[in-house]
Structure 1
Amino acid sequence: MHMRFLWTTLIVLAVHTLSAQNYDWNHLPVIQRPIFKNDTVDIKNYGAVAGGITLNTKAIDAAIRDCNSHGGRVVLIPAGLWLTGPIVLRSNVNLHIDRAAILQFTDDKDQYPIVAGNWEGHPAARCQSPISGTDLENIAITGGGIIDGNGDSWRWIAKDRLTESEWKHKVASGGVVTEDGKTWFPSAKSLKGFRTKDAGWLKPGMTPADFEDIRDFLRPNLLVLANCKKVLLDGTTFQNSPAWCLHTLLCEDLTVNDVHVRNPWNAANGDGIDVESCRRVLIANSTFDAGDDGICVKSGRDEEGRKRGRPTEEMIVRNNIVYRAHGGFVIGSEMSGGARNIFVSDCSFIGTDIGLRFKTVRGRGGIVEKIYVKNISMRNIVHQAVFLDMYYFAKPPSIADIYSGAVKEDIPPVSEATPIFRNIHISNIICDGAEEGIFVRGLPETNIRDIQLSDMVLKTDKGAEIIEAQNIGLKNIRLITADTSRPVVYVENSSDLHFDDIQYNAGADLLFSINGNKCANIHVASTDRSKAVHDAAFNYGATNDALK
């Protein structure tokens, strides 16, 4: 009856002979899937009652424990509306949500005890997640039903992110409005946590009990799986999460297939999926509609992430759709353990703030490398189609201020806290509508380097910016820009750039704007430079011989 969760083991090499540097599109990582016994148990046999009134936490837990004690089975959530508190998964159990079932988590926050967890790469006190599992093996959530985290009862929201009627309804539901009348919080505890510095961070000597006065602020992620092996999420809809929707931490052999993530566009921290310090991951055939980043790669934050030293690696992302989100496919900014050997292909981003979004900042450390992206279609992107930035949430001084002496540029020495972006390949990108096509910005002490961008058609307002970068190649790039008064390509303090077959609007005012005395070895080939009114301009110490 429930054939979806019957899997056969993939053929896997007994010895993993492919070294990290040998992965390519013809030799992708192999991800193992879990297998389960055919036996199925119904939560109704353990006293569960549908209807959305009876709290079924104990009945569902009893079914999961019983299946686990018998070597693993399938726990069926049958058709109906099932109210529950937090669920803890166990090894060898497949939680199967019937297509006609809604697993609804209660809005009673007392059902979610404060536990030691992790938030944005830091050890943190959090309310227990609606679904969680730690140190498990061979687990799954399958079936075409819906899991609803009741997140709107946890999340604060600003007035300007709601219609007038929505705001009135929210205020009438209870909670607390800030003195300026601009933000609604579910409770005074939630507001207090919001105003507390480093709220929830578990520092030496602290325990989860120390955070009771801000417990409502400690919003849980809907699903958290930590240190688990052979994990499958298949066919299910996960929606309305209090914070992140799906969070996998230190997991191996994770498969996410045909999953649907739905969060309101204005959901604070409403990420779709965050894969953190995981190895061998497949995300395929899934759809994300998120309040923050859509598909996101992380590996810990700052010193804690570097000490952990576990990159997210050997990851395949293919055949996915991301609707409104801050980024379609994202790496960072908490990537201090690194990210490598990641393959992204055949995805569509519609209405995201940014398409491909790679972000870091000084202090993170970590190496992002060997990232391969191809065959991405985008439409109605708010900001950049391709975005690689090492100044995330920081603002560097302008080159004009530095050149004039108004500001002295402070360049720190390179250390373990200096992040590195290198060896990234992006090709076959189509974008119909964005503020900007390509934005690449490194740090003066550690440039972004070895980036290859090819075969793109980008219909945007602005063309491309390359700042503090080395060995960047753009080949067969068509920049159809609406604002012809801006330079098609802006370069700042970058060297060893290779532009091959750059196509642009005839009549553009300026093709290349070259800025800064570190600009050198900028090569242009197979490009009709006569279509622009002005071929190149050199500013802030850049000289004519920088452009070859």
Structure 2
Amino acid sequence: MHCFDYSILLCIGVILLLSINCANAELETCSWIVPMRYRYDKISITDFGGVGDGVTLNTKAFRAAIYRIEHLRRRGGTLLYIPPGEYLTGPFNLTSHMTLYLARGAVIKATMDTEQWPLVAPLPSYGRGRERPGGRYMSFIHGDGLHDVIISGENGTIDGQGGVWWNMWRQRTLKFTRPNLIELMNSRGVIISNLIFKNSPFWNIHPVYCSNVVIRYVTILAPADSPNTDGIDPDSSSHVCIEDSFISTGDDLIAVKSGWDEYGIAYGLPSHGITIRRVTGSSPFAGIAVGSETSGGVEDVLAEHINLFNMGVGIHLKTNIGRGGVIRNITVSDVYIEDARKGIKISGDVGDHPDEYYNRNALQLLRML
């Protein structure tokens, strides 16, 4: 009788152990690379004259609030609270040790007046704007050289109102490259979470020359015919964690990049340590892409537990002559693809060139799996 009892206990113990292990597997995460920080110091955009009526232009309010955070230098940083309402604004820069927090029902909307968008220098690893020679329009939310930045909330919305930019692209009236919705450069310790991003003029979330970036629990939306509205593009960045998100756009859902032709080769900063996990989405282009701008190299990419539907291509590795660089250690597992033209594609003739000076002998070396 005692032996029977112990057998039951042993069985129960094994079942519990298996259950715990399964639970841990389901909760596997890379978000630990940037711990979430609580800010004790808080200010509201309304303290600086912000008006959430969808009409008033709040650019000065956003810039004044962030200037205050930058110069307060509170220990532990400061949270900028955006209450419910629609806050129309031009582009603005973030600062270090801050949280941009959108309450439920809060919407930050980009102005459709293109004259309100300043020009910034091209990325050194691209040599020029991605679409047009010269500079490029500043991203809607921008930051350079930052540390400890959080963009989060209660599923508030950041709306790029990109229609005016898409039409300029279609009509070929763009003077410079369209702005991204969010671009952080040369930054580390970044968290982007629990928000909705919609209607980006160009790429949605673009961490470039960054390290230790966590992007999770986000929804990214754009019409299927919106041009070049990539979801998330880690670019010459390392230790990037993308998890538990839904993306439906007009271009690649996630595209890992590292510079463009001779400029990317000269800059020489690869993307590496990229984890993509539990992402669901739909696009006429690729679900998970590497390239085509990969001249600095791409290494150590893990994509797993991906669900894709109504896709152009499930997994796409893209390159071209002149790119150079090395692509290696790309691991893809547990991908479900429904209604795609192609499941996996490797292409050697994708994308254009910044100018005529690219090296035609610079071919990409693929060491993938």
Shared fold per TM-score greater than 0.5: yes
- CA deviation after TM superposition for structure 1 residue 414, in Å: 9.6
Does residue 81 (structure 1) correspond to residue 86 (structure 2)? The answer is yes
CA contact (8 A) 1:36 1:73 kept: no
1:305 aligned residue (257, 264, 268):
264
Q: Within 5 A, what are the aligned runs for 1:322-333?
A: 322-333=281-292
Partner of 1:93: 98
Amino acid at match of 1:388: I
1:243 aligned residue (162, 182, 202):
202
CA contact (8 A) 1:313 1:339 kept: yes
Partner of 1:288: 247
Deviation digits for residues 13-65 of structure 1 (CA, Å, limit 9, x no counterpart): xxxxxxxxxxxxx9989623352422221111111111011111111111122
SS of 2:143 mapped into structure 1: strand
- CA deviation after TM superposition for structure 1 residue 156, in Å: 2.5
1:127 aligned residue (137, 154, 175):
137
Partner of 1:148: 159
Does residue 272 (structure 1) correspond to residue 231 (structure 2)? The answer is yes
CA contact (8 A) 2:229 2:249 kept: yes
SS of 2:35 mapped into structure 1: coil
Cα distance in 2, alignment partners of residues 360 and 35 from structure 1: 39
Partner of 2:308: 349
Amino acid at match of 1:109: T
Cα distance in 1, alignment partners of residues 320 and 217 from structure 2: 33
1:388 aligned residue (331, 346, 357):
346
CA contact (8 A) 2:185 2:207 kept: yes
1:105 aligned residue (110, 113, 118):
110
TM-score (norm 1): 0.57
- CA deviation after TM superposition for structure 1 residue 391, in Å: 3.1
Does residue 421 (structure 1) correspond to residue 366 (structure 2)? The answer is yes
Amino acid at match of 1:380: D
Partner of 2:217: 258
CA contact (8 A) 1:324 1:353 kept: yes
Describe the shift of the 1:336–1:325 C-alpha distance in structure 2 as closer, same or farther (beyond 3 A): same
SS of 1:68 mapped into structure 2: helix
Cα distance in 2, alignment partners of residues 261 and 352 from structure 1: 16
Amino acid at match of 1:285: D
Partner of 1:53: 55
Higher relative contact order (CA 8 A, sep 6+): 2
Partner of 1:138: 148
Cα distance in 2, alignment partners of residues 28 and 147 from structure 1: 25
- CA deviation after TM superposition for structure 1 residue 384, in Å: 1.2
Partner of 1:44: 46
Say which one has the larger Rg.
1
CA contact (8 A) 1:33 1:253 kept: no
CA contact (8 A) 2:80 2:99 kept: yes
% identical equivalent positions:
32
- CA deviation after TM superposition for structure 1 residue 313, in Å: 0.4
Q: Within 5 A, what are the aligned runs for 1:522-541?
A: none
Describe the shift of the 1:272–1:120 C-alpha distance in structure 2 as closer, same or farther (beyond 3 A): farther
Describe the shift of the 1:119–1:326 C-alpha distance in structure 2 as closer, same or farther (beyond 3 A): farther
Amino acid at match of 1:126: R
- CA deviation after TM superposition for structure 1 residue 110, in Å: 1.3
CA contact (8 A) 2:125 2:263 kept: no
Between the two proteins, the alignment pairs up a number of residues equal to 327
Deviation digits for residues 105-145 of structure 1 (CA, Å, limit 9, x no counterpart): 11111111122133993333111211100000000110110
- CA deviation after TM superposition for structure 1 residue 325, in Å: 4.0
Q: Which runs of 5+ in 1 are unaligned?
A: 1-25, 158-182, 194-213, 395-412, 425-548
- CA deviation after TM superposition for structure 1 residue 356, in Å: 0.5
CA RMSD of aligned residues (A): 2.3
Cα distance in 1, alignment partners of residues 227 and 127 from structure 2: 18
Cα distance in 2, alignment partners of residues 28 and 67 from structure 1: 29
SS of 1:242 mapped into structure 2: coil
Q: Within 5 A, what are the aligned runs for 1:224-235?
A: 224-235=183-194
Partner of 2:72: 70
Describe the shift of the 1:30–1:388 C-alpha distance in structure 2 as closer, same or farther (beyond 3 A): farther
Describe the shift of the 1:247–1:184 C-alpha distance in structure 2 as closer, same or farther (beyond 3 A): closer
CA contact (8 A) 1:289 1:325 kept: no
Describe the shift of the 1:277–1:29 C-alpha distance in structure 2 as closer, same or farther (beyond 3 A): farther
- CA deviation after TM superposition for structure 1 residue 363, in Å: 1.0
SS of 2:104 mapped into structure 1: coil
Describe the shift of the 1:30–1:232 C-alpha distance in structure 2 as closer, same or farther (beyond 3 A): closer
SS of 1:371 mapped into structure 2: strand
TM-score (norm 2): 0.84
- CA deviation after TM superposition for structure 1 residue 67, in Å: 2.0
